[in-house]
Amino acid sequence: MSSQIMPYHERTALPSYFFPFLSPNSDKATEDDVEYFHQKLNEKCTSPRQALLYVHIPFCDSFCHFCTFYRIHTPSIDAMESYVKVLKKEMQAYAKMPYIQSLKIESVYFGGGSPSVLSPRLIDELLSWTRDCFNLKPNVEFTYEGEVRTLKDMERLKVIRKNGCTRVSFGVQSFDRKVRKLAGLVPPFEEILECVKNIRDVGYAVNIDLMYGLPGQTMATWKDDLSQAVKLSATNIDIYDTIHYATTKLVQHRHKLKGEFPIEDDRIEMLRYALQYLSQIGYCQETIEDFALPGKEYQMKKLVYGGGDGRSETIGIGASSIGFLNNVAYRNFHPFQDYINWLTTTRKLPIALSYKASAEDISTRIMVYLPKLLKIEKKNITRDAIDKYRTTLDRLKENGLIEEDDSVIKLTELGIIWADNLVAEFLTARQKQKMWKLMY
Ligand SMILES: C[S@@+](CC[C@H](N)C(=O)[O-])C[C@H]1O[C@@H](n2cnc3c(N)ncnc32)[C@H](O)[C@@H]1O
Ligand code: SF4
């Protein structure tokens, strides 16, 4: 491989979705922090910001070997009922805050875990409550995530649709039998097909997640994964490079899987191939990991990534949920029972971690999310924010990783391949340390 396409020694997939990062050690929310958060939400927003409403449902029927999202094995109906009850309480607490009332909620996302494991009755109750509580626009972008076994159920699909949800998203990761086995992916191929058929029959846009860098994956299986997702008429395809979290089976059983992981050069080729193939057949790359057919673009990821001016916000609801509101980054309590106990016994919001973002953090937020958003329009950011990173930007330009003109800064194809390394370029040593800790 020529040095021209190896601008860094190593290419590592990083957990850089949420900035500012939160540390379980240094960002524990004190009583004063919780009070401060309440005060910030009692302020009215003078220039209303765009926002995502994210609700976390932490239940999964089986655990995939690479995943660290907070989840527990699908509990009893009673436990799910208790969870929905406290979710409603948390939503109500947010919805009456002046700051929240002045936000423009552009996207609603039920994610997890696997929200589809809730019973049809609980889904109905929760979705209609959410709509009423936040007074959502009838045509608001609305996505419901799930896993194959429960998402293929017509009754659930109809209830979700009835409540105004137009997009359904689920992870396939790979269609290959061996890869699925090594990654702990349970549903068989036939069930995935049935699931997609039912989703389409009820009339949703379908988002399929794929991952590369999994054990057992080869260029041939990856090409097949992409073409299968296209054949299933996925309107949106998300592509994730596998992040190696130290606490997962994938990493802990690494010795047993020796020789099964694609090497770095192969992972680069997998991404290159995906970029070329998906663009050839008409998918547009919307962010670093999501691809959409024309007319099927969605806002959720862009809102998580600051919306281009570093200002869009997330109302995170549910156990372990992460949010960013009025310049406070926060994470809710988990495990499940701690979250339930907190909301059952107090009237305060269930934040376990919080961090007050400075003006400097906001300009870093814009730049950290440049590689995620692929580009930023200069009109959306201050001159100071660009000047602060001028030396870094000039070096990235010299190395062929970004391009810049009077109106825009954007990633080149090489920059897209090395996007996570670019994220790290804009972080201070302390911020990098906090991000690395998320993997260990
Ligand atoms: C947290 S899951 C929730 C969706 C649903 N439970 C499912 O699996 O279909 C969302 C997506 O995150 C991605 N993901 C999970 N763990 C990952 C990891 N270690 N590295 C990269 N992507 C990961 C997978 O593509 C997965 O579909
Ligand atoms: S990837 Fe999805 S189904 Fe698998 S463990 Fe994570 S949340 Fe559950």
- Per-residue pLDDT tens digits for 25-61: 999 999 999 999 999 999 998 888 999 999 999 999 9
Whether the Cβ atoms of residue 274 and residue 226 lie closer than 8 Å to each other: yes
Question: Cα–Cα distance between 284 and 368 in angstroms, integer?
Answer: 22
Residue 167, phi-psi category: left (phi > 0), alpha (psi -120 to 50), beta (remainder):
beta
Residue among 57, 61, 62, 63 to mutate when testing ligand 2 (max atoms within 8 A of CB): 63
| 359-440 CATH, one of 3.40.190.10, 3.40.1110.10, 3.90.1150.10, 1.10.10.920 | 1.10.10.920
Residue among 191, 240, 288 to mutate when testing ligand 1 (max atoms within 8 A of CB): 240
Q: Comparing 18-306 with 359-440, is the CATH topology the same?
A: no
Question: Cα–Cα distance between 57 and 80 in angstroms, integer?
Answer: 9
How far away, in angstroms, is 382 Cα from ligand 1 center?
A: 35
Which residue intervals of 10-147 are DSSP H helices? 31-42, 77-95, 98-101, 120-133
Cβ density class 224-250: b for 16+ within 10 Å, e for less: ebbebbbebebbbbbbbbbbebeebbb
Give the number of the ligand closest to the Cα of residue 62: 2
Question: Cα–Cα distance between 241 and 267 in angstroms, integer?
Answer: 8
pLDDT tens-digit series, residues 343-372: 999 999 999 999 999 988 988 999 999 999
pLDDT of 382 over the 90 cut: no
Give the number of the ligand closest to the Cα of residue 174: 1
| Phi and psi at residue 37, to the nearest 5° | -60, -45
Give the number of the ligand closest to the Cα of residue 225: 1
How far away, in angstroms, is 172 Cα from ligand 2 center?
A: 10
| Residue 2 pLDDT class (50, 70, 90 cuts) | very low
Residue among 17, 57, 64, 67 to mutate when testing ligand 1 (max atoms within 8 A of CB): 67
Predicted TM-score of the model (pTM): 0.97
How far away, in angstroms, is 309 Cα from ligand 2 center?
A: 31
pLDDT tens-digit series, residues 116-126: 999 999 999 99
Question: Cα–Cα distance between 178 and 265 in angstroms, integer?
Answer: 21
Which residue intervals of 305-354 are DSSP H helices? 336-345
Domain borders along the chain are 18-306, 359-440
- Residue partners of 227: CB distance under 8 A and separation at least 6: 277
Q: CATH number of the domain at 18-306, please?
A: 3.30.750.200
Mean pLDDT of 212-231: 98
Whether the Cβ atoms of residue 376 and residue 388 lie closer than 8 Å to each other: no
Supply the residue whose CA is at minimum distance from atom 15 of ligand 1.
67
Helix 77-95 and helix 120-133, axial crossing angle in degrees, nearest 10? 10
SS3 at position 70: coil
User: Among the atoms of ligand 1, which is closest to the Cα of residue 238?
Assistant: 25
How far away, in angstroms, is 211 Cα from ligand 1 center?
A: 8
Place of tokens 């959720």: 300
| Residue 254 pLDDT class (50, 70, 90 cuts) | confident
pLDDT of 1 over the 50 cut: no
How far away, in angstroms, is 370 Cα from ligand 2 center?
A: 27
